[in-house]
Amino acid sequence: MPSLRNFALLCAILVAPFMVMPVAAQSMDELESRLGDHPSLAALTYQAEANRERGQAATALPDPVVSVGINNFPIFDPSFSDFLPTNKAIGVRQEFPNRAGREARAGEARTLAAQSDLVRSAQLAALRGELIALLHEKVRIEKQRTLAERRNAKYDELTQVVETEINAGRPAVFRLAEIESERTGVSRILVDLDREITQINARLIDLVGLVPATPVPPVVPSDWSGAAMDFHAVRVAEASIRVADMSVDGAKAAWRPNWGAQLTYQQRESGANFAGDDWVSGMVTFSVPLWAERSQAPRLRAAKADRASAEMRYQASARTSAARFASEAAAWRAAQDNIAVLERNIAAVQDEIAAQLTTYESGVGDYAPIIDGEIAILKLRSDIATEAARMAAAIARMNALLVQS
């Protein structure tokens, strides 16, 4: 059927990019280099460069204006020599916006450029943390896939033991149903792992352009000195205050006059009743803040309100960053404690298996409880893999919050 074939082709096209497998291991340095080329980071680099260029342009004077013209030229009797007021003129005018305003606009643009650099650093740190977490998730999935396959093998072994017990006349029929139910659960786990690895590979391709076969880097929690400025987000918020300060300076500068100068050269032809002559006219202009209460004053109040808003965002960012750091640290320690509990449980189950094995070898007990214990250990090791990935992700996110020296 053509429609089914077209649908299958479409699915193949969509899935193909995520089926790419690495041909060689990539070092972490290579991955970080690829991460630095991410389009979202490149956009911030260009944005910073644009603001730096705007800062340079803001201090420049406007282009001078040249005027060329004829003054008082008669329409009905056109002539340059019959009327005294008729003359030819050429002039140049230069505007001088007040220096304080130009410096404020330049400073605002430069500060915006610095803020874009800080945003880029923060985003790079967040992406690096996500990359590390994804690599640990891949390890977790590989471990859990291996453990799930070992569980299936144990269920095969357990099925044979239970069938032997049934053949011996023991009432163990319901145990077979339990085994099949648990085997179905393992099948669902394998399906979920396939889905997760596909999603992780898709995100890795988004981040670094490939699915790397990189050994997981060690994750060591960074120490926080307690200073708010240790956080990326707080530095970005502090830059917003500096941008607002420049805006306030610009609003204050609007009260200062903008100056202008004009120089005009005029030339008159000789006529029957007057002699020709050349002369020069000069003019200086300046603005007067006559409507300051309706123009400059509201703008200054708005700039000060923006500055107060930036200050509040800075305080909120400091609180939020500290709370996020504490939350990730709590998640890391909780995962660490859970691993310790799970390892103690494994030790307890191993002791129980040893006791059951001794009983079985003495000819008294059954072998099925021993296999059940081995399956329980496989489940616990799968839980440990989950907690280990959670711990690594929490540490990576925690480190991403801090500016690394």
Q: Using one digit for the tens of pLDDT, what is the confidence trace for 148-201? A: 999 999 999 888 887 777 776 676 667 788 888 999 999 999 999 999 999 999
Tokens of 151: 């569980």
Task: Work out the pLDDT band at 380, boundaries 50, 70, 90.
Answer: very high
Whether the per-residue pLDDT at 387 is higher than 90: the answer is: yes
pLDDT at 6 over 70: no
What is the distance between the alpha carbons of residues 373 and 377, in angstroms, rounded to a whole number?
6
3-class secondary structure, 183: helix
Q: 18 pLDDT exceeds 70?
A: no
- Name the burial class of residue 208, with classes exposed (0-12), middle (13-18) and buried (19+) by CB atoms within 10 angstroms of its CB: buried
pLDDT-based confidence at residue 83 (cuts at 50, 70, 90): low
Angle between helical axes of 99-167 and 173-208 (0-180°, round to 10):
160
Please indicate, yes or no, whether the overall pTM of this predicted structure exceeds 0.85: no
In whole angstroms, give the CA distance from residue 121 to residue 236: 10
Neighbours of 339 (CB within 10 A): 18
More confident residue, 292 or 199: 199
Q: Which residues pair with 283 in a beta bridge?
A: 262
Is the pLDDT reported for residue 4 higher than 50?
no
The whole-number pLDDT of residue 268 equals: 75
Q: What is the mean predicted confidence (pLDDT) over 14-32?
A: 61
Domains of the chain, each with CATH number or no CATH: 26-61+97-255+292-401 (1.20.1600.10)
135, 178, 264, 302, 340 from 65: Cα distances, Å: 62, 92, 12, 34, 79
Q: What is the pLDDT of residues 240-280, one digit of tens each?
A: 999 999 999 999 999 899 999 999 998 877 766 666 678 89
Query: 133 CB contacts (<8 Å, ≥6 apart)?
Result: 389, 392, 393, 396, 397
The share of the chain scoring above pLDDT 70, in percent, equals: 89
Beta carbons of 125 and 400 less than 8 angstroms apart: yes
Choose from 9-18, 358-367, 374-383 the range with maximum mean pLDDT.
374-383
Residue 258's beta-bridge partner residues? none
Reduced to 3 states (helix: H, G, I; strand: E, B; else coil), residue 358 is: helix
Cα dihedral 287/292/296/301 (nearest 10) = 160
The DSSP bridge pattern shows strands 259-268 and 87-96 to be: antiparallel
* Structure tokens, 84: 């005294």
Q: What is the identity of the amino acid at 404?
A: Q
